[in-house]
Amino acid sequence: MKKPLILVTNDDGITAPGLRNLVNFMAEIGDVVVVAPDSPQSGMGHAITIDNTLYVKQMKINSLPNLQQEYSCSGTPADCVKLALQEILDRKPDICVSGINHGSNSSINVIYSGTMSAAIEAGIEGVPAIGFSLCDFSWEANFKAAKKHIITIVSEALTNGIPKGVVLNVNIPKLEEKEIKGVKICRQARANWKEKFDKRTNPMGKDYYWLTGEFELLDKGEDTDEWALSQGYISVVPTQFDLTAHHAIHHINNWNLNEH
């Protein structure tokens, strides 16, 4: 049987250890093409490049039997997927996997995530997609601890399909392999960031700011991604890119919008 074609991307850059590990994992189950940013793009969300040129460079970082091609891109994670699907690949990939991100993309973090935006861009184009993140910001993080689970999740998605309009957001706790209890299908926890800005002054007397903040969990449910991660499980949240608040349509229909 023909091996599945797997598009791999991320937001930490093409040389990031998380991506290099994901490439190795995916090469065990399919033919891999990599299109990833040439520099870190964390927190870019779904930004796309519309007022500048984009450059793509073919590279050779790994030598793996099923690694077909690798390209670095000067744009954002969403740009990488757009270029991969429209210009680089000669056929539609069977799945797009994004990551493994250095740091959590659970709960509200999904809104800001370049990792998940790359996966969502693939989903918008009709390609089944999964974003993977490890709750460890370290460059030397243990990405191999969840290898078997990552391969299982991707294999199951290839076999069973992902519902149309849905992208999977997978987060992995910072644990050793033997400590990971399994996988939980979850909902996104309600939370937000309590932002703070560290104001400083440069030697020229001009003020500047560093964004800091604290994560505030507002959800005590035991069916959320945050709960699953805290209990030692990998969380899988089916995420949709239709942002319509369907439950609010009836309420807003009661407004007198056409009587003024």
pLDDT of residue 156: 98
pLDDT band at 7 (very low <50, low <70, confident <90, very high): very high
pLDDT of residue 68: 78
Q: How many CB atoms lie within 10 A of CB 226?
A: 23
pLDDT of residue 41: 83
- 75 Cβ partners below 8 Å, 6+ apart? 37, 48, 49, 54, 83
Query: Residue 21 annotated as binding?
Result: no
Query: Residue 42 annotated as binding?
Result: yes
Query: Kind and range of the H or E element at 82?
Result: helix 77-83
pLDDT in tens, 53-79: 999 999 888 777 777 799 999 999 999
Position 127: which residue type? V
Query: Residue 51 annotated as binding?
Result: no
Q: What is the pTM of this model?
A: 0.92
User: What is the average per-residue pLDDT within 12-41?
Assistant: 94
Q: Is the pLDDT of residue 23 over 70?
A: yes
State the SS3 of 184-217.
EECECCCEEEEEEEEEEECCCCCEEEEEEEEEEE
The pLDDT mean for the chain works out to 93
Are 137 and 105 a contacting pair, CB within 8 Å?
no
Query: Residue 31 annotated as binding?
Result: no
Query: Kind and range of the H or E element at 129?
Result: strand 129-134
Question: Which pair of tokens denotes residue 209?
Answer: 């700011």
pLDDT band at 39 (very low <50, low <70, confident <90, very high): confident
pLDDT in tens, 140-149: 999 999 999 9
Q: How many CB atoms lie within 10 A of CB 159?
A: 8
Q: Which of 67, 70, 47, 184 is nearest to 121 (CA)?
A: 47
Residue 169 sits at φ, ψ, to 5 deg, of -105, 110
Core vs surface per residue 182-211: b (16+ CB within 10 A) or e: ebbebebbebebeeeeeeeeeeeeeeeeee
Q: Is the pLDDT of residue 1 over 70?
A: no
pLDDT band at 260 (very low <50, low <70, confident <90, very high): low
pLDDT in tens, 87-133: 999 999 999 999 999 999 999 999 999 999 999 999 999 999 999 99
- Domains annotated on the chain, with CATH: 5-195+221-253 (3.40.1210.10)
Point out the least confidently predicted range of 38-47, 140-149, 161-170, 200-209: 38-47
